[in-house]
Chains A and B, each alone.
Chain A
Amino acid sequence: MTAAFSPGGAPAGPMLQVRDLHVQIATGRGTVRAVDGVSFEVPRGEALGLVGESGSGKSMTLRSILGVLPPTASVTSGQIILDGRDLVPLKQTDLNRIRGPKMAMIFQEPMSALNPVMRVGAQIAEGPMLHQGLSRAKAAERALDLMRRVGIPHPERRMRSYPHEFSGGMRQRVMIAIALACEPEVILCDEPTTALDVTIQDQILRLLARLCRESGVSLLFVTHDLPVVAQICQQVAVMYGGRLAEYGPVQDVLHDPRHPYTLGLVRSAPDFDNVREALVPIPGSPPSLISPPDGCRFHPRCKFAEEDCQVVEPPMKPLPGGRATACLHYERTIESLEAERAGQLDPVDLQVAAERPDEAAPAAGSAP
């Protein structure tokens, strides 16, 4: 089924491929199926955005790719294929040869992800010394070069500084330098700009985009921020309740959603070109992943839901244009969009608002 929405044209296969991944977390209240059958791929040299609200399983997906799941969580089935090699069965020591030289991670909080008592130059040089066997002097040279590439002013002096002496944006540049240090082929980003203010966020995103273009590195970009995905990614995968809801080229998916959840996400985000009176929230709240609803996970909140949605687990249905959706009635999304574009208020929206006045407050944890 992964072949169905492969974008095609990648000569040597995708850089990173996740196939039918299941991650479970053991808790006191039961087993949480945090990731439940997710498949996607990151083509070489491209950026895939993985979006979804908190608890949709995107961070767990990322951590299972790196093999740094918390002790209570584990990959129960599925494959994570990096450059033709399945990472799931690998031992920690084998993974340690891949983490760094093949894939690297950029974290959300650059302050807490940097060691507070280590000079930043040493933190950048650590990977090259360990993975590429560079001497201390050579590694320091590499660190200096990387700090220049990520745009840290006065790198010779700043190398000897500690993380607390940097501003938030500069710290994130240090994180990027650390991620790039061993020349990885994939960089995984966990909401790398969420902790930054908007101007710095834009600088960091431009930097990431430029570095990826220059070095041909692939990106897996986890975020809940739709404009960020639109800015940096070519492909987007929307996650809901531990599953994929929709997949496809980013502009198509965000302008022309084929899944009611994506539509809800897009409508609940502010739009400055076309200011609406009020944002349209998605009613209800995200599903419990201990006992998820039968059928489509989104059906209790879906205004288009029909009876079969409560029973049938929707498969990932391939659509033209390299897209796919996990919705049985995705045509209704198109109808709703066309109605809105024709200037009419969506009759279903009005109906929903009338039926559930108590849930008018934005319950969905979507976007900013």
Chain B
Amino acid sequence: MSITAGAGDQFAPTGGALVELAPRPADRGVQARRATWYKNPALMAGLIITGIVLIAAIIAPLITFYNPITQNLTDALQGPSAAHWLGTDQFGRDTWTRLVYGARLDLRIAFIAVLFPFVLGTVLGAIAAYFGGWFDLVIMRVVDVVVAFPFFVLLIALVFVLGPGARSIYIAITLVGWVSYARIVRGEILVAKRQEYVLAAQSAGLSNTRIMGRHLLPNVISQAIIYGMSDIVQDILAIVTLGYLGLGIPPPAAEWGSMINGGQNFLSTHWELTTFPGLAVILVGLGLSLIGDGLADILRPGQ
């Protein structure tokens, strides 16, 4: 009986020349990904819309001819004309100018405001999921409490307490918004940490911080980024809502929410005062949502 003697002789461990495999066409996957990202219609449409708005906001002084804040009461409440493309408000300020400067303010606050909850939620969610135990328990109960409140109710209450201004908006959005990121990242890491590459990283003597930062987060962060795109839309809506309620950026700064509020009294005669800021909100929301959809298609693992 020589069950394994033969095997041992045939596959002598001394081994001969290594059989070289034919090289595979390299980087096919990467090339495929690079080739397709601009073919995604949602992403491209979103990028074009958002890009136009962003460029308009950046070059605002070049495409407008008035000061967005200076009052000019002699020109108050004019309809659209060659001098004032979208007319003027009750203080004689050019609506087009205020719309473009409003984009500057609203977009800047929204883009900054989305970063804080993104970072805070991602870090807390990652730590909670990776270590588990009492920290996970505490964090997730706090998340439950925050989620129990409707987003706008909590946000408005917080801004009301903190007082108007950009700083209050950042703080309020961070305190309310981080929970979604924490939940997303926690869920993703709970799955990812069971993967063998985490065990492999532990076996290679990597520290927990490094495993989380270098190995786990890059694998799960795309979900948080995709959510972040729709979260910006929500943040813009929140900023505009707060402005409309008089809780956001105090006047006379050009801001879409306060513009809608200001035009409200003249709705029957001067619809353009509320309509165009409203359309601007819709346009930006559409653009960012399309980017989010496109990114979801591209970043979703296994696609």
Contacts and interface: CB of A to CB of B under 8 A. Distances in A.
A37 interface: no
B256 to A, nearest CB: 38
Given A118-B218, A164-B29, A100 B204 contact: yes
A255 B9 CA distance: 13
A205 B11 contact: yes
Contact of A127 (B6, B7, B204): B204
Nearest to A341: B1
B14 A209 contact: yes
Contact of A209 (B3, B13, B26, B202): B13
B82 interface: no
Interface of B: 1-8, 11-16, 18-21, 23-24, 26-30, 132, 195-197, 199-208, 210, 214-215, 218-219, 301
Interface in A258-313: 266-267, 269, 271-274
A273 B13 contact: no
Contacts of A206: 11, 13, 15-16, 18
B3 A271 contact: yes
Contacts of A317: none
A105 B200 contact: yes
Contacts of B30: 161-162, 165
What size tier do the contact residues of chain A reach? 35 or more
A210 B17 CA distance: 10
Contacts of B20: 151, 153
Interface string A139-181: 0000000000001011001101110111101100001001000
A130 B210 contact: yes
A201 to B, nearest CB: 9
Contacts of A130: 205-206, 210
B38 to A, nearest CB: 21
A337 B2 CA distance: 11
Contacts of A87: none
B2 A274 contact: yes
Interface in A77-135: 92-93, 95-101, 104-105, 107, 109, 112-118, 126-127, 130-131
A162 B29 contact: yes
Which secondary structure characterizes the binding site on chain A?
helix
A115 B218 CA distance: 10
Nearest to B29: A165
Interface stretch (A27-35, A224-232, A350-358): A224-232
A115 B196 CA distance: 9
Given A127-B204, A255-B2, A115 B215 contact: yes
A205 to B, nearest CB: 7
A99 B18 contact: no
Contact of B2 (A127, A160, A229, A271): A271
5 contacts: A68-B203, A151-B20, A160-B27, A162-B30, A254-B3
Which of B15, B16, B29, B215 has its CB near the most chain A CB atoms (within 10 A)?
B15
Contacts of B210: 130
A113 B3 contact: no
A254 B14 CA distance: 20
Given A68-B202, A116-B219, A169 B4 contact: no
Nearest to B197: A115
Contacts of A105: 200, 203-204
Contacts of A167: 21, 24
